[in-house]
Amino acid sequence: MDPPKYRRKGALVTSPAVSSRDLPHPEVAEIRLESVLHALADPMRLRIVRELAAGGGELSCSYFDLPVTKSTTTHHFRVLRESGVIRQVYRGTAKMNGLRRDDLDGLFPGLLGALLDAAARQTARDLGDG
């Protein structure tokens, strides 16, 4: 392999920007409600977000035991990141994920809470209520 390559979607760079790879996140002003809803409309991603909310801090991708392959898991995390729902950062070999709760609450007050509450209610209902 000639020069070291850090390829991403056709781009070819000779060195990473920082020691850790950095991931593109939308600015707060770029976050679109439709994208957030689309991201959360997928059962797998809604589940990820719920676990993130329950977990409190940051969780690694491998923490999640999803019934899909790792490539699919990567895909879902990327959708969540690119829609502005989560923030991702590399820490060693792991990739830590955290909800962008403050950003979302600033943009859409009460939305995230209502969504998490709605998801919890639906789960309770699915389990036969009480």
**From 110, 127, 128, 130, residue interacting with a second copy (rule: CB under 8 A):** 110
Answer with the entry of a second copy, DNA, none that 34 interacts with (C-beta below 5 to 8 A by kind).
a second copy
Residue 40: CB minimum distance to a second copy, A: 5
Instruction: Say whether residue 33 binds a second copy (CB under 8 A).
Output: yes
Rounded distance, CA 99 to CA 48, Å?
A: 10
Residue 53: CB minimum distance to DNA, A: 18
Cα angle: 28, vertex 32, 35; to 5 degrees: 125
Rounded distance, CA 106 to CA 119, Å?
A: 21
CB 85 within 8 A of CB 35: no
Cα angle: 22, vertex 23, 28; to 5 degrees: 120
Answer with the entry of a second copy, DNA, none that 80 interacts with (C-beta below 5 to 8 A by kind).
none
Positions that interact with a second copy (CB under 8 A): 29, 32-35, 37-38, 40-43, 46, 107-111, 113-115, 117-119, 121-122, 125
